């Protein structure tokens, strides 16, 4: 299982423990979907999300899975429904909609009908991720992310669904999606906009740079900055504190203090899917997957050969 | 802070963090070879440098850095 959960003293603790670094693909998504019903149980008064991986909280979306999804399906209207169901684990009705997308693209003489259908398949996956993340965001209980190490991309987006981020000094936050020709797709931009000023949001998104926990604390993204290895302990203590308050009042306070930017979330999904159809994305994902490194855009021992564009290269073309 | 002092503090910090002898590290060394670190560990070195020098170093500025000398130049440019 890519995660485990335990309820103790009215605090639900979700521990991410999957893949190389808690990549969010179908297995993690299914596991997170399993957590959603727990958020409204009467014996759950707060939630802490943490990771047991030494490397950090989460490296983000499972790009190997995304790459496979974008390259393995061919333009076959007859087989698309079955294929899409298998590939993206979508309900049959949604899979039918995907086949319909492909047929419409063919009718409209879209030069890339299969690409349109593949993008739809990812959209179905994104819809599921958003349902889970929205449920976390809107949970009627205080939610706390205990972060250390890498908190990138989709992992950062998961942390942003929580009410409070407690981070130790090893934590680093980043949205590296532009390196892949993409923007964040799990709600990162609207939720970051909600929490921070737009100038720093633009800097982080457009540069793809990572921000240390200390800087994130100065910016107001990290609420509580703690010593190395103490994020979970501090988060658990905070969660326990919130269970002392009236549940209804907590829910009212949260709803009032933390509106969900639904319109912007929908727009982000649309933009993401539009970008996904571009060849530059598949090419960037291919380089990422073939590099074999969890994060090949970070400093590394060996430079890419001059004759072969490396993942650090710009993906604008 | 002079470039020499930046280098000295950088090498001491790197040696301590990755359990190497300070004397074994030279400015011209490939830091990945000398410290035997991967990209994740390089990220933790970046965090340690930011803390130690009270600066912010965007990853893209160290993306192509290979030697301690190059890294010290990036740090110095932020002081």
User: Is A177 an annotated catalytic residue?
Assistant: yes
A282 found inside a domain = no
pLDDT in tens, A26-78: 899 999 999 999 999 999 999 999 999 999 999 999 888 888 777 665 445 55
User: Is A157 an annotated catalytic residue?
Assistant: yes
Split into its structural domains, chain A has a count of: 1
Domain holding A46: CATH number? 3.90.226.10
Say if residue A306's pLDDT is above 50.
Answer: no
A249 found inside a domain = yes
What is the pLDDT, as a whole number, of residue A96? Answer: 59
What is the pLDDT, as a whole number, of residue A295? Answer: 59
Asked which of A39-43, A120-124, A161-165, B58-62 is least confident by mean pLDDT, the reply is A120-124
Say if residue B71's pLDDT is above 50.
Answer: yes
A166 found inside a domain = yes
Kindly give, in sequence order, each residue whose CB lies less than 8 Å from that of residue A106, ignoring residues fewer than 6 positions away. Answer: A75, A77, A113
What is the pLDDT, as a whole number, of residue A113? Answer: 55
Beta carbons of A27 and A125 less than 8 angstroms apart = no
What is the pLDDT, as a whole number, of residue A53? Answer: 94
Query: Smallest Cα–Cα separation from A168: which of A247, A249, A231, A248?
Result: A231
Say if residue A81's pLDDT is above 70.
Answer: no
C-beta atoms of A303 and B40 within 8 A: no
Most distant CA pair in chain A: distance in Å?
63
Average pLDDT across chain A, whole number: 84
Query: Smallest Cα–Cα separation from A201: which of A213, A184, A214?
Result: A184
Say if residue A316's pLDDT is above 50.
Answer: no
C-beta atoms of A212 and B59 within 8 A: no
B interface test, pick of A202, A296, A298, A299 with most B CB neighbours within 10 Å: A299
Beta carbons of A126 and A182 less than 8 angstroms apart = no
| Element spanning A150, H or E | strand A150-152
Say if residue A105's pLDDT is above 60.
Answer: no
Say if residue A85's pLDDT is above 80.
Answer: no
Say if residue A87's pLDDT is above 80.
Answer: no
A185 found inside a domain = yes
pLDDT in tens, A129-159: 999 999 999 999 999 999 999 999 999 999 9
| Element spanning A167, H or E | strand A164-168
pLDDT, mean of residues A79-102: 56
Bridge partners of A113?
Answer: none
A311 found inside a domain = no
What percent of chain A is predicted at pLDDT more than 90?
61
The answer to whether A72 faces chain B, any CB pair under 8 Å, is no
Can you list the pairs that A105-108 forms with residues at least 24 positions away whose Cβ atoms lie under 8 Å?
A: A106/A75, A106/A77
CA distance B14 to chain A (A): 15
Interface confidence, given as ipTM, is 0.88
Question: CA–CA separation, B61 vs A301, rounded Å?
Answer: 16
A152 found inside a domain = yes
A205 found inside a domain = yes
Which structural domain, as residue segments, surrounds residue A57?
A: 3-63+130-263
CA distance A314 to chain B (A): 12
Q: Report which of residues A76 and B29 the model is more confident about.
A: B29
What is the pLDDT, as a whole number, of residue A45? Answer: 97
A271 found inside a domain = no
Q: Which domains does chain B have, with CATH numbers?
A: 3-77 (1.10.1200.10)
Question: Which of A169, A209, A296 minimises the CB distance to B58?
Answer: A209
Q: Report which of residues B9 and A299 the model is more confident about.
A: B9
Taking CA–CA distances from B67, the nearest residue in chain A reads A301
């Amino acid at each position: 299982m890519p995660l485990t959960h335990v309820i103790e003293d009215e605090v639900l603790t979700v521990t991410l423990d999957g893949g190389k670094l808690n990549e969010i693909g179908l297995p993690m998504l299914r596991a997170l979907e399993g957590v959603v019903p727990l958020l409204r149980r009467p014996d759950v008064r707060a939630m802490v999300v943490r990771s047991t991986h030494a490397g950090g909280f989460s490296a983000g979306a499972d790009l190997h899975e995304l790459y496979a999804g974008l390259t393995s399906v061919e333009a076959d209207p007859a087989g698309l429904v079955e294929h899409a169901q298998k590939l993206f684990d979508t309900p049959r009705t949604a899979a039918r909609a995907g086949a319909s997308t492909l047929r419409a693209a063919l009718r409209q003489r879209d030069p890339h009908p299969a690409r349109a259908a593949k993008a739809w398949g990812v959209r179905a996956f994104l819809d599921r991720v958003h349902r889970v993340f929205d449920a976390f965001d809107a949970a009627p209980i205080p939610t706390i992310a205990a972060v250390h190490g890498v908190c990138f991309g989709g992992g950062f987006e998961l942390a942003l669904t929580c009410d409070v981020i407690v981070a130790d000094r090893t934590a680093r936050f980043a949205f590296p999606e532009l390196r892949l020709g993409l923007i964040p797709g799990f709600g990162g931009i609207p939720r970051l906009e909600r929490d921070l000023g737009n100038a720093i949001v633009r800097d982080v998104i457009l540069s793809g740079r990572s921000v240390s926990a200390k800087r994130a604390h100065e910016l107001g993204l990290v609420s509580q900055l703690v010593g190395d290895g103490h994020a979970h302990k501090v988060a658990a203590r905070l969660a326990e504190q919130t269970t002392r308050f009236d549940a209804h009042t907590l829910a009212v306070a949260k709803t009032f203090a933390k509106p969900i930017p639904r319109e912007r979330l929908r727009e982000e999904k649309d933009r993401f899917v539009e970008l996904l159809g571009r060849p530059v994305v598949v090419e960037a994902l291919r380089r990422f997957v073939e590099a074999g490194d969890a994060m090949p855009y970070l400093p590394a021992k060996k430079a890419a050969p001059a004759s072969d564009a490396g993942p650090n290269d710009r993906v604008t073309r | 802070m002079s470039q020499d002092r930046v280098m000295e503090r950088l090498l001491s910090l790197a040696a301590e963090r990755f359990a190497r002898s300070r004397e074994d590290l030279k400015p011209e060394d490939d830091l990945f070879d000398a410290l035997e670190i991967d990209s994740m560990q390089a990220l933790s070195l970046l965090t340690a440098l930011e803390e130690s020098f009270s600066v912010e170093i965007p990853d893209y500025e160290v993306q192509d850095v290979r030697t301690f000398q190059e890294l010290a130049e990036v740090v110095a440019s932020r002081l």
